[in-house]
Amino acid sequence: MKTLIALLATGSLAALATPAAAQVEEDSPFTGLRIQGNAGYDQIRAGSSVDDDLNEDNNDQSAEGFLYGATVGYDVDLGSVVIGPEAGISGSTADTDFEDGDFEGFGFGNVSAGRDLFLGARIGVKSSEDMMFYAKGGYTNAKLNVRSNDGTTEFDTDYDLDGYRVGGGLEYAFGNNLFTNIEYNYSNYSEAEVDFDGTLPSSDRFDVDTDRHQVTVGLGMRF
């Protein structure tokens, strides 16, 4: 997986650095700087090696909510493929809760989703002049906000998670400047640390296995 991500990123940078090496489609609706807003569904859950064994009634082990965010990227249409780097930031209303009196967590206690970052690349194949299927991959970092207080003070403590993201989608262009897409992303976080409030140092990094599933619809402009 890391090799695939590295190849995608390397290919994107090479395409941007040496556009003369290939026939770039200058009038393509899939070339140039783009920015878009995203909205959709977000689910964070225990991975294959993480289980809430302390609560036998915990059948859910997930947090679900509404995702909102923005993506920026730069694409180069090489005729047969479209390739380029991409970065994104999003937030989510996902949080742990109680269901029928039982706490439905996924290994991190009482938490809510914080900001979610992505840095990677995508590669696409055009099915027509205005439609493209694409795949993406890269690095992701996310925060989970620990919801704790002593009755009068709310403590600002976060989990900081690192992992990888892969996904894919379908993009449709309305001319050369406006586009929409629908996308699915899967993330796996394998390392984490606790960021404490104030001047306390962060904890040592520890292993986790946390999955994230996101389905989004985007609307954007290309410049």
Q: What are phi and psi of 20, to 5 degrees?
A: -75, -15
Helix, strand or coil, per DSSP, at residue 168: strand
Report the pLDDT averaged over residues 199-219. Answer: 89
Q: CA-to-CA distance for 86 and 118, rounded, in angstroms?
A: 8
pLDDT digits (tens, 9 = 90+) for 65-94: 999 999 999 999 998 899 999 999 999 999
- Residues 123, 135 contacting (CB under 8 angstroms): yes
User: Is 131's pLDDT higher than 80?
Assistant: yes
Q: CA-to-CA distance for 84 and 215, rounded, in angstroms?
A: 21
- Residues 29, 209 contacting (CB under 8 angstroms): no
Q: CA-to-CA distance for 218 and 36, rounded, in angstroms?
A: 6
Lowest-confidence region among 52-61, 111-120, 123-132: 52-61
User: Is 164's pLDDT higher than 60?
Assistant: yes
Lowest-confidence region among 43-57, 134-148, 152-166: 43-57
Q: Which two three-digit tokens encode residue 109?
A: 């206690």
Residue matched to tokens 């909510």: 65
Higher pLDDT, 208 or 8: 208
User: Is 7's pLDDT higher than 60?
Assistant: no
The chain-wide mean pLDDT, for the chain, equals 85
8-state DSSP, 95: B
Confidence of residue 12 (pLDDT cuts 50, 70, 90): very low
User: Is 6's pLDDT higher than 90?
Assistant: no
pLDDT digits (tens, 9 = 90+) for 25-58: 778 899 999 999 999 999 999 886 555 555 555 5
- Check: pTM over 0.85? Answer yes or no: no
Q: CA-to-CA distance for 91 and 65, rounded, in angstroms?
A: 10
Q: CA-to-CA distance for 88 and 117, rounded, in angstroms?
A: 6
Report the pLDDT averaged over residues 119-145. Answer: 97
Lowest-confidence region among 6-15, 65-74, 113-122, 145-154: 6-15
